[in-house]
Structures are given as structure tokens and as C-alpha cells.
């Protein structure tokens, strides 16, 4: 695992006892909220291995919910997030799942409201760092350390080029990019980590590009 600075080793400024179980969990929750694009009305959260065994004592439960509420890791409201969610009538449930996972600090968040639903798998890899490894059935690798675009598109010739052409036009540098599809000619997912936040005007132009279905962004 690579660290960028001594602050990554120490861990982030946070509320809670553990950078892996608290800060990382909060960032997984916030990533899910950002990708959903709004505050969910309900959440079903599957916890695996170490997360499942220690989530109450290490604050993983309130951290995940705090992230879904949009709290940063150092938000003083974090430890009271379960109460805050109940006050907002958000229905949430934690499920201790016995399935074996490749990483001990893994959570599967299924969130939604009366119209939409999102499913995300995230792992907390230490020092408050996270990786998103699955989104709505698509496998991916998203660090959450950089601004990112998640672009659902039709698996057609020219779809990727239409996106990269617009990013080049606005001098937006791509740090990491991957494309995943469930089947040939069906829906596909582009994951693009960039070096700076993408303005809404650029997003609007991307949404109108060839073969694009919808776009979500994560702000660093």
C-alpha cells in the first residue's frame, strides 16, 4: 500500500477511535451519498469480517451513517449520526454478513428512496483511505482520493472518445481510467479519476456527448 505523506500514515483528522473502522467507513458512506446524488431515505448495510465483528465498538456504524448524511470525518456531529438519521426518518439496518471477502474491512451499502436505488461495495484499507470496488454490479477500482467521474454509457464505438475529447478541450488531466461492461453492446461504466474538480458546465457537455446515459461525480 502506498502512502503520499506522513499524514496518510498518522491518519486523517477525525471523530472516532479508528482510522480504518471510523474515518474509512465515513468516507465509504459519503462516497455512496455522492454517487446517489442525494440523501437516501433508507439504507441496508452489510458488514463483513472485521467490520462485522467490531462495528459497534469501533464506531463503524455511526461513521457509515454519518457519511450517508454528508458528514466529513472530523464533523463533531459524527458520533450522534444514528440519532440524526432517526430524526430524519431514515430507515437503516446493519447486517452482519458471514460471506468471505478479500479484505476484512468491507461494507456493502444498498441505499435508496422511493424512486432510485444504488448498491456500492467499499473497503477501508487503512489510514482513512478507502477503495470502492463495486457499483451497481460493475467491478471497479476507485480510491476516493481524487475527483472522479463515473459515466454510465452505451457500449458503442466512439463513446470513450467523445468523453476524452471534451476533457482534453477543457485541459482536464486524467490520472486513472478504466472501463467495465457486463456484456457486449449493453451498458458500460467509465471510471475516470482527474486532477481537478470538474465544473458543472463541463458535466453538462459530457451528458450531451454520444452514447452517454448518466454521469455522477465525486469531489475530492
Residue 7: its pLDDT value, please?
32
pLDDT band for position 140 (cuts 50, 70, 90): confident
Element (DSSP H or E) covering residue 140:
strand 138-142
Residue with cell 470513450: 160
**pLDDT for residue 16 is more than 90:** no
* Residues linked to residue 106 through DSSP beta bridges, in sequence order: 48, 123
Q: What are phi and psi of 50, to 5 degrees?
A: -60, -40
Residue with cell 485541459: 171
For strands 42-48 and 174-181, give the pairing.
unpaired
pLDDT band for position 141 (cuts 50, 70, 90): confident
Cα angle at 11 between 7 and 14, to 5 degrees? 120
For strands 42-48 and 138-142, give the pairing.
unpaired
Q: Is the pTM of this model over 0.75?
A: yes
Percent of the chain with pLDDT over 90: 65
Under DSSP, is residue 8 helix (H, G, I), strand (E, B) or coil? Answer: helix
Amino acid at each position: 500500500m502506498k502512502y503520499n505523506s506522513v499524514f496518510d500514515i498518522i491518519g486523517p483528522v477525525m471523530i472516532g477511535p479508528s482510522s480504518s473502522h471510523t474515518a474509512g467507513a465515513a468516507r465509504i458512506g459519503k462516497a455512496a451519498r455522492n454517487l446517489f446524488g442525494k440523501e437516501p431515505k433508507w439504507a441496508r448495510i452489510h458488514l463483513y469480517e472485521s467490520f462485522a465483528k467490531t462495528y459497534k465498538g469501533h464506531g463503524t456504524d455511526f461513521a457509515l451513517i454519518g457519511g450517508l448524511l454528508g458528514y466529513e470525518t472530523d464533523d463533531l456531529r459524527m458520533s450522534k449520526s444514528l440519532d440524526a438519521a432517526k430524526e430524519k426518518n431514515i430507515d437503516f439496518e446493519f447486517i452482519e454478513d458471514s460471506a468471505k471477502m478479500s479484505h476484512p474491512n468491507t461494507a456493502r451499502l444498498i441505499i435508496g428512496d422511493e424512486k432510485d436505488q444504488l448498491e456500492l461495495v467499499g473497503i477501508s484499507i487503512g489510514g482513512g483511505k478507502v477503495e470502492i470496488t463495486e457499483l451497481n454490479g460493475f467491478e471497479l477500482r476507485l480510491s476516493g482520493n481524487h475527483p472522479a467521474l463515473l459515466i454510465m454509457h452505451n457500449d458503442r464505438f466512439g463513446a470513450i472518445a467523445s468523453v476524452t475529447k471534451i476533457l482534453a478541450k477543457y485541459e482536464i488531466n486524467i490520472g486513472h481510467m478504466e472501463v467495465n461492461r457486463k456484456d457486449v453492446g449493453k451498458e458500460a461504466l467509465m471510471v475516470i479519476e482527474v486532477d481537478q474538480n470538474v465544473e458543472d458546465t463541463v458535466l453538462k457537455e459530457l451528458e450531451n456527448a454520444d452514447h452517454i446515459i448518466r454521469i455522477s461525480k465525486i469531489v475530492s
